[in-house]
Amino acid sequence: MTASPFQDALRAPTFIRHLFSRFPLIAYPVDPPPMSVEDFQRFTTKTAAVAEDSIYTLYSFTESTDSSIASFNPACLKWQTYLKIRNISFKTHPSNNHASPSGSLPFLTISPPSDRISQTIPSTKLARWIEEQDKAVAAVNTVDTDGGDYRAFLSLVEGAIRDAWLYALYIDPSNLSTITIPKYTAHTPTWPIPHILGSQMRQAAIDAIRKSTSSSTTTLPTGTELYAKAIEAFAALSTLLGDDRWFFGANEAGLFDAEVFAYTHLLLRLEVGGSAGGDGGLVEGLKEFGNLVGHEERIRRRWF
Amino acid sequence: MAAGGSGDVFDILKDASSPDTIAAQRAAQKAHDEEISIKAQRRAAETIQGHSSQPVYFDSITILGAPNTRRSFLERLVKPALDRSDQGDFTLKDALRELSKAINGLQHFEIFNPNIPFYLDTPSDYNYDPRSPNNPIPLSAVINVKERSRVLLKSGTDLGNTEGSAYIQGSLRNVFGGAEFLHLSFSKGTRTRSAYDATFTTPINSSPLAAIELKGLSTARDNSHSSHTELSRGFIGTVRWATPAYKLKQSISYEGLWRTLTELHDDASNSVQRDAGDSMKSAFTHLLTRDTRDNPILPSSGALLRLRNSIAGIGPLKGTVAHWKSEAETALAYPLFKGITLSSSVRGGILYPLALSGDAAPKPSTIADRFHIGGANDVRGFQTGGLGPHSGKDSLGGDAYVAGSLGLLFPFPRVGTDSGLRLQAFINGGRLLALERPPEVQDMNIAQGMKYTVSRLLTEAPSLAAGVGIVYGHPVARFEMNFCLPIGVRGTYGEEGAERARKGLQFGVGVEFS
């Protein structure tokens, strides 16, 4: 490598470099890092906690470090499910969006036991990372994720169903106060933090629905409208699934199955009430589609 | 000048309106006035001296020029003087001392112009009776104050520890007529990216020595040394009091702070990722300071003792972090000879995890609560947060530390000791450790762990650095430029977990150096 004259000028004179290379005179061994919550539990309680030896940790909205406890957030649950489908052994770690380099959960960290440095993989790069893990592949789901059909159905999940979910969980006041706020602010239950974070989350959901439905800044679609669209989407998904075990007639579950499961599981299991519960609500609407309920149960029984 | 003798005088007369001449005339006039006033003062002093044992009593004390100040507030200020006079056995000397105390009090509140003249007279209906000279003479005192403007707006730049900042401030003086202050400020700095605060201060019972301060704040602080930004918003309420004779200041404060560690760097370590997000600190803090140093920015004699203890999260305090945090600091400056000063400091602290109300066992400390030491005005020769446990480039902080320094300050050649310039040579170091479990013990508690950690702290060699440099002690802040070399460091450069030393030049600005 040839140094430019500029770099040459910036280089310290030889005697300085020579002097610096002699210091520090003494190098002591490195000190241990502060203890984590898990270290601490082992430290204070005499029984050693059952240590999951996985080097992979999925930071997500969850209450547990056990990867078979489902996350209460669809985006996290989708990747949690897909990692399980692909037979990658991992543990989960309760976290929040501030921890993520991309600004949103989930993300995966890899901490080899030999090394104190860990590597971080954001959710946007998770699919590709999983493909690169040769030992992790359980069975190949050969659905063409670039096909027009796939994209059309994916947009149903990420559009109509997500909007209805956001409305039900973040805008409906009863679900916001009984499910969303307690779950997302479990680590900071002190007044007024849950209250402030709750209204911030609600505003973010309103903005997301507006963006997704391209509605004006003054009007927002009503819950009934959004739920009706989501039920239409479920009907289309139900027709697509038909009597197959997995979507698109695949032999094994894939990313799309994880995607659908993330919503169906939470809608069916989270005891969503308010405007989304009861007759004519989102949850009852979903229950009409027996094959989607069966699909949820198949994944739940096998991986959770 | 070529021409001499009378020509000069003529020139001067002709040129009587030249600025130089006017200035000279003014100076002469001023000197003359000053001489007269000094003479008058001397005469007054002589008169008072001659009659200092004359029995007197206060017939009245009048404060003029304070239309916006509450009467009850002023009454409490002059009450000690009146009470003392009512007790009897009160001489002119006592009267003057009591008055000057009251005036000192008035000056302290910073609501009046600092120059406060007063006048002593006898009431107009009083007739001196020469036959009984030992009868107490009634005095009416008039204190003439001038209220300062109530609204104050200013903007400027500020130098704090390891950072420079620009600010806009608005103050409302004497809000309710009792020397209350309302202070609003917004600042933006190199490390504190933005800070908003609103502070309301009021003296307790008109005392210049005790005050209550209520503060609401919202700050964003760039903790690059730990790969994140820390947002804090909340409330701090403080009661402070002082004992002037012992130079002792104390305060008890409550803080309720909602903190968010956010905007993590892409390469933030796992430890930082785990602690990211929201936490609530609800704590009581006691602070005791005894400072006898002649100049805190560049001390040449005196000592500082500071003890700080806070309790967070236990019992009714709630919040999400619970600990006892205790810190002690001493600093000593000792003049040697020829303007050379020896300065030294020792400090240390522990962070003891406690169980939150409702929790069975304590939780480990988080990066926001742990100690971070090292930096240009802390332990020189190390980067900010350069000592103690690290991961990657992140300072993870520790639960116990000691740090100390020993230095010599020399007068700058050909400048002398009056200027703030000095040359210095120093050696400083410290040790910062995370709470650790003794290696051979299996089942143990936190007290044992803390004992083990502190014993390591005290028995093992500290990380050290030494250097020489230039110091400039400006009344606002202290500037240092040092050439440092690390002597003993934990880990080698580039090794995972290594401390981060700094070789070569290091520049420091701040109000507090150790």
- Ranked by mean pLDDT, which of A1-5, A93-97, B35-39, B100-104 comes out on top? A93-97
pLDDT for res A131: 84
pLDDT for res A29: 93
Please give the ipTM for the structure prediction: 0.87
Running DSSP on this structure, what letter comes out for residue B412?
B
Helix axes B92-108, B19-50, angle to 10 degrees: 130
Q: Thinking of the domain B151-510, which architecture would CATH place it in?
A: Beta Barrel (2.40)
CB-count burial class (<10 Å; 0-12, 13-18, 19+) for B232: middle
Kindly report, residue by residue over A131-190, the tens digit of the pLDDT: 888 665 555 666 777 778 888 999 999 999 999 999 999 999 999 999 999 999 988 888
* Coil/strand/helix, residue A87: coil
Share the mean pLDDT of chain A: 86
Q: What is the pTM of this model?
A: 0.85
A-chain residues within 8 Å CB-CB of B396? 33-34
For an interface test with B, give the residue of A10, A23, A97 to mutate (most B CBs within 10 A): A23
Q: Which helix (H) or strand (E) holds B26?
A: helix B19-50
- Residue B499, both tokens: 């401390």
Residues found in chain A: 304
Interface check for B316 against chain A (CB to CB < 8 A): the answer is: no
Domain B46-144 and domain B151-510 have a common topology: no
For an interface test with A, give the residue of B274, B370, B382 to mutate (most A CBs within 10 A): B274
Q: Which helix (H) or strand (E) holds A82?
A: helix A74-85
Three-state SS for B259-274 is EEEECCCCCCCHHHHH
Interface check for A24 against chain B (CB to CB < 8 A): the answer is: yes
Under the banding of pLDDT at 50, 70 and 90, the label for residue A14 is confident
Residue of A nearest to B441 (CA): A43
Identify the CATH homologous superfamily for domain B46-144.
Answer: membrane protein fhac (3.10.20.310)
Instruction: Show pLDDT as tens, one digit a residue, over chain B (514 residues).
Output: 344 444 454 554 455 556 666 677 777 888 888 888 888 878 877 777 777 888 888 888 999 988 989 999 999 888 888 888 888 888 888 888 888 888 888 888 888 998 898 888 888 888 877 777 778 888 889 999 999 888 888 887 776 666 677 888 898 998 898 889 999 999 888 788 889 999 999 999 888 889 999 999 999 999 999 999 999 999 999 999 998 777 899 999 999 999 999 999 988 888 899 999 999 999 999 999 999 998 888 898 999 999 999 999 998 898 999 999 999 999 999 999 888 999 999 999 999 999 988 888 888 999 999 999 999 888 999 999 999 999 988 999 999 999 999 999 999 888 877 888 999 999 999 999 999 988 877 666 888 899 999 999 999 999 999 999 999 988 878 889 999 999 999 998 888 889 999 888 898 887 777 6
A-chain residues within 8 Å CB-CB of B399? 34
Interface touch B274/A34, C-beta < 8 Å: no
Interface touch B362/A40, C-beta < 8 Å: yes
Torsion of CA B264, B268, B271, B274, to 10 degrees: 40
C-beta of residue A90 within 8 angstroms of C-beta of residue A58: yes
Q: Cα separation of A240 and A235, whole Å?
A: 9
Locate the domains of chain B by residue range: 46-144, 151-510
Q: Which residue has the tokens 């977990």?
A: B497
Q: Which helix (H) or strand (E) holds B236?
A: strand B228-243
Under the banding of pLDDT at 50, 70 and 90, the label for residue A5 is low
